[in-house]
Structure 1
Amino acid sequence: MTHNFWGPSLTAGNWTFRLWSPRAKQVELLLEDRPLSMTRDDSGLWSVETPAAAGNRYLFRVDGQDMPDPASRLQAGGVSDPSVLVPPDGHDWRCDWQGRDWAEAVIYELHVGTFTPEGTFAAAARRMAGLAELGFTAIELMPLGQWSGDRGWGYDGVLPYAPQPAYGTPDDLKMLVDAAHQAGLMVILDLVMNHFGPEGAWLHHAAPDFFNPERHTPWGAAIDFEQPAVRDFWTGCALHWLTEYRMDGLRLDAVHQISGPGADDFMADFATRIHALTPRRHLITEDDRNTPDLREGAGYDASWNDDFHHSIHVALTGEDDSYYASFAADPVGDLVLALSRGHVEEGQPRQGKDRPRGAPCGHLPPTAFVNSTQTHDQVGNRAHGDRLLTLADPEAVAVAYALLLVAPYIPMVFMGEERGETNPFQFFADYKGDLAEAVRKGRAAEFAGIAALGDTVPDPLALETFARSRLGWREDDPARSWLGLTREALSFRARHVVPLLKSGGMEATVTRPQPGLIRADWQFAAGRLELSLAFGQPDPDPLADPHLRTGRPDGPYYLTVKAHS
């Protein structure tokens, strides 16, 4: 199967429409309301070839039920409305982009709908040069595959090939990518392959065999990766975004839920297909398993490293509930492990954890770990979407942020963090009727504990919840101070850390001479990076003549760092 197995394709003036529906008795194409019979092959693939024009609308009629194309490239409206024919890429690209080395990555995670007041691709494009000027080298877009309604995080998408129309047109998205490339920024897309959203997932009707009825994810029916057509759907989706929209890479959501028969083979083949593209694309996973397999065996570039975040968060806030429990015993000691080995939990017994998690990963290069002090998950999955700056000492947060940017792991910043944003990022959606009420009650039940104390959870369906989550784009003195720190730290990283990373061969010596002090010495083929961190007590012996310092020399939070070539 080729990557255009799903969705319409144009050849010699005719369009071929395809739908995998192995149990269907009859499938028709409704092209501009005109029914055309489709023929079935032995695999359950229905197809028809016919003249058509870009902009024509179409539906599939599967055993009498009209539905959009699950691989629709564009919708005429909502997720149950007709699909629209989009011609192969005719965009007037302005940048002859050849990609960037992964060692140069400094990622800026953003949600298009709340990144700017307008919440559009076009408005985001106007901000790209400013991010690049600060020193960022990549943006990571939260999922864009169309979901039901206008507001949402994107993880409940049901049409993963079609960009969310509330943000703009396909051409608007291409202009955003082009603007990012012109500024020197890679564009990484967050892709959800482990489940579909609760409304408008017509694949359940067209192809029940797409799903495994014996397994479920926390968010819905599990997908059956043993099916060749299922593998082709997702590989085709990835290639669509990477080629049609010229994305530089993908962040794959919760790959630990891509499981069951066929899943391992799919993940290996997926990486092979993606890495065959020129320029080379990058692959990042979110993987709760903390194992090295995909990074060392299948060629995935990196994985999100929540362990670094948890160590920082618990050290600064003292929180010890839920997944923070195993980091509450000694968060500064865990930070030592994170700075030395990448992951903290590598299969060893841990206080506060029922069973071990992970496997040794310290042999992986530092570029195999994407570290953060805030993400959409860690902020937005809180009851009120609180940012770290509203939960901890601002000076301590600034030191932790500087540590993130200068340490020899891939840093990722959540939008607004670079200017000290304090607006929350809350959970929001845009459903109607019974589903809206179910989402509302589910969110309230998730945080029943705070309700018992007289607190209330923001209504995820309310427009005000979405509006509160927009960036404020402040220009006051605190914002200027944060921007200055960002610019200085990322300048140091570009001049000193990136050349060391590219030279390879890191050996880490990270010690803890006192309970709140950390000393790090990372040796590379081309030199070394030295860091002294006070994280809860004054530092009696900070580095002399550092390249960068932040915090107060006499305070409990202070960082000094220097590079040696």
Structure 2
Amino acid sequence: MSMRTQHFGAVTQGKGYTRFSLWAPDARDVHLQFRKGDTLPMERRQEWFELTAAATGGDAYRFIINNELPVPDPAAGAQHHDVHNWSLVVDHSTYQWNCNDWRGRPWHETVIYELHAGLMGGFSGVTKHLPLLMELGVTAIELMPLHEFPGSRNWGYDGALLFAPDASYGTPDELKHLIDCAHELGIMVFVDVVYNHFGPDGNYLNNYASHFFRPDVHTPWGAAIDFQRNEVREFFIENALMWLLDYRVDGLRFDAVHAIQDADFLAAMAAQIRAAVPAERHIHLMLENENNSATLLSQGYNAQWNDDGHNILHHLLTGEHEGYYADFSERATEKLARFLSEGFIYQGDTTRHGKPRGEPSGHLPPTSFILFLQNHDQVGNRAFGERLTQLARKEALEAATVLLLLSPMVPLLFMGEEWGAEQPFLYFTDHKPELATAVRDGRRNEFAAFSFFNRDDVREQIPDPNALETFNQSRLDFAECLQPAHRERLSLYRELLALRKKEIIPRLPGTVAAGAHILGDKAVSARWLLNDGRELRIDINLSEGAVTINPAWNGHRVLYSHRVSDDDYQHNILPGLSALAILEHHHQDEATQAPESYASANDD
């Protein structure tokens, strides 16, 4: 049985009535106005205004502050068209779920596919593509933020009304249908939530609840959200529980929690979420955290996006060394080995800014780290939204893909990655003209510190986020994956994910890292002890030259090889831009079959 209290927003009471609540400590009075015409005074109860009135699902309403300012409900379950329009009552009890016996999947089975619902045709478009993702080997989709944003398109991180799925994507029931269909296919659904800031347009809280923010603490988005206030904490925890209980999603990814000033809130939120969700369900909580706070990963959170792992691999694959890649360009091979053996690279070490970053992470299981070669940030925050297919050599990228999909860390794919899509993923918005100009100019100025963009005429070539063409250029054509030029890469992903399902996932619970050592420049051998006593070993060489393997491969079963010939294997040579994954066997009679198994797995 779940333990849950709903205080914010419009909560249906049955028999045609709904309770409306608004925390408005700065307001003298608040009226509830229905689009159908009625305007009713709300009852003040200390800092809250409440009223139970005749209303059912689909009814449109808003609040009138001090008899002059109409505002949407900050906890509206849906909006009529946009952030500035009428809010809609949502009755979550009316949806008829088909997959009522779904309890989720354990964390170690997770293979994440991050996607943007708007670029795939909204909730119905994502639903249509679910069978393709199941065939690929994906076990979870991660929906980029769904919070209602200004305009008809947004990359997701400018949400203003956090409880309302954006109207341009579809209705709440269409979102539930998507989740229902995913569960029927055995696919989990995660939602990316943004609790560290609100978007620049559509947030009216300062007009009646200024205590929601801390004027003494500033962030890149303005005054920090005041998580020391109980009402603020309750607002976000209720939002998290809405996704998990009303929409039955399987997990949440919390965006940029390093921008949340009160670290105690994060541990408290995880505890309250887990107390409120029925114990039989598998619920997964994931962090993006620049601070590398390993402590949180033993305080209710399953895993963190491992930016360190991405950054070192990106540097080795592309040679890029400006911006935050500067922290990974020196002694890069040592950093690669540390990431593979201990998770985080920065565990209290000093960054280029002269400040310590991170906490020790070597004690954590590999599944505490979500590994990716691409994601919305690492592609979308590039000036031209280039994907790795345009930045790295094909052979090197495939070697890194072996590591991504066969290591014990939880892999994350970014939409289109699996077939080598070449369309960019650009930063796009749909703001009003004045704000649109400020966003465009601000984004172009962000790149001034990079040598390539230190001229005004070059920066002016960066796509305008507000242009419709910027959005359209980012759309994927999933039929492209069937073209001959993309079939090989798609086959690689399918084969590796099938191997992961068969050979890695059953052995993951209880897996521990067993160290990594340097084989040569940009070449590392990493080992993990699996739960059946066997050892998984992945050797990867991202340099052009060959390296000698030590210890030797003989006596082990090869799971997969990339650019390693029979002769290389016999002489323990790891060629340039190659990777090999092997599994140590218990018994000698199995071990003697290694060369034969190798021949069947070899892709040369």
Does 1:264 pair with 2:248?
A: no
Q: Pick which of 180-189 and 523-532 moved more.
A: 523-532
Shift of 1:549: 1.4
Match of 2:330 in 1: 329
Match of residue 118, structure 2, among 85, 105, 113: 113
Match of 1:364 in 2: 364
2:519–2:548 CA contact under 8 A, matched in 1: no
- Kindly provide the amino acid, as one letter, of the partner of residue 538 in structure 1: A
1:69–1:83 CA contact under 8 A, matched in 2: yes
Match of residue 479, structure 1, among 475, 486, 492: 486
Q: Distance in 1 between matches of 2:345 and 2:196?
A: 26
Does 1:461 pair with 2:429?
A: no
Match of 2:347 in 1: 346
Unaligned runs of 5+ in 2: 569-574, 586-604
Percent identity between the aligned chains?
Answer: 42
Q: Distance in 1 between matches of 2:161 and 2:522?
A: 49
Q: Give runs of aligned pairs for residues 117-266 of structure 1, distance below 5 A.
A: 119-259=121-261, 263-266=262-265
Q: Distance in 2 between matches of 1:280 and 1:36?
A: 43
Match of 1:430 in 2: 430
Shift of 1:412: 0.6
Unaligned runs of 5+ in 1: none
Q: Distance in 2 between matches of 1:326 and 1:441?
A: 27
Shift of 1:172: 1.2
SS in 1 for 2:477: coil
Match of 2:50 in 1: 47
Match of 1:398 in 2: 398
Match of residue 17, structure 1, among 15, 20, 40: 20
SS in 1 for 2:290: coil
- Please identify runs of 4+ aligned residues in structure 1 that moved more than 6 A: none
Shift of 1:500: 2.1
Shift of 1:264: 3.2
SS in 1 for 2:9: coil
SS in 2 for 1:465: helix
Match of 1:546 in 2: 558
Does 1:35 pair with 2:44?
A: no
- Kindly provide the amino acid, as one letter, of the partner of residue 56 in structure 1: D
Q: Pick which of 478-487 and 450-459 moved more.
A: 450-459
Q: Distance in 2 between matches of 1:235 and 1:3?
A: 10
Match of 1:511 in 2: 517
Shift of 1:241: 0.9
- CA deviations 1:237-278 (Å, max 9, x no partner) are 11111111110000001111111xxx2332222111222312
Q: Distance in 1 between matches of 2:222 and 2:180?
A: 35
Q: Distance in 2 between matches of 1:425 and 1:3?
A: 39
Q: Distance in 2 between matches of 1:193 and 1:333?
A: 35
Shift of 1:539: 4.3
Match of 1:411 in 2: 411
- Kindly provide the amino acid, as one letter, of the partner of residue 546 in structure 2: P
Q: Distance in 1 between matches of 2:520 and 2:256?
A: 37
2:365–2:513 CA contact under 8 A, matched in 1: no
Match of 2:593 in 1: none
Q: Distance in 2 between matches of 1:10 and 1:53?
A: 7
Shift of 1:36: 0.8
1:347–1:359 CA contact under 8 A, matched in 2: yes
- CA deviations 1:11-36 (Å, max 9, x no partner) are 24221100000121111101233111
Shift of 1:505: 4.6
- Kindly provide the amino acid, as one letter, of the partner of residue 487 in structure 1: R
Shift of 1:142: 0.4
The structure that has the greater radius of gyration is 2
Q: Distance in 2 between matches of 1:437 and 1:540?
A: 56
SS in 2 for 1:531: strand
Q: Distance in 1 between matches of 2:215 and 2:503?
A: 52
Q: Give runs of aligned pairs for residues 67-106 of structure 1, distance below 5 A.
A: 67-95=71-99, 96-106=101-111
SS in 1 for 2:168: helix
Q: Distance in 1 between matches of 2:230 and 2:353?
A: 38
SS in 2 for 1:148: coil
- CA deviations 1:67-116 (Å, max 9, x no partner) are 110001111121111111111232222223110000111111111112x3
Shift of 1:454: 4.2
Q: Distance in 2 between matches of 1:321 and 1:540?
A: 32
- Kindly provide the amino acid, as one letter, of the partner of residue 222 in structure 2: G
SS in 2 for 1:99: coil
Does 1:7 pair with 2:9?
A: yes
Q: Pick which of 92-101 and 422-431 moved more.
A: 92-101
Q: Distance in 1 between matches of 2:37 and 2:263?
A: 42
Q: Distance in 2 between matches of 1:490 and 1:54?
A: 43
- CA deviations 1:182-216 (Å, max 9, x no partner) are 11111010000111011110112121111111112
Q: Distance in 2 between matches of 1:432 and 1:366?
A: 45
SS in 2 for 1:563: strand
1:22–1:207 CA contact under 8 A, matched in 2: yes
SS in 1 for 2:315: helix
Q: Distance in 2 between matches of 1:329 and 1:283?
A: 33
- CA deviations 1:419-454 (Å, max 9, x no partner) are 111111011100122111111111121123516174
Q: Distance in 1 between matches of 2:78 and 2:158?
A: 17
Q: Distance in 2 between matches of 1:499 and 1:53?
A: 47
1:204–1:210 CA contact under 8 A, matched in 2: yes
What is the Cα-based RMSD across aligned positions, in Å?
1.7
2:26–2:207 CA contact under 8 A, matched in 1: no
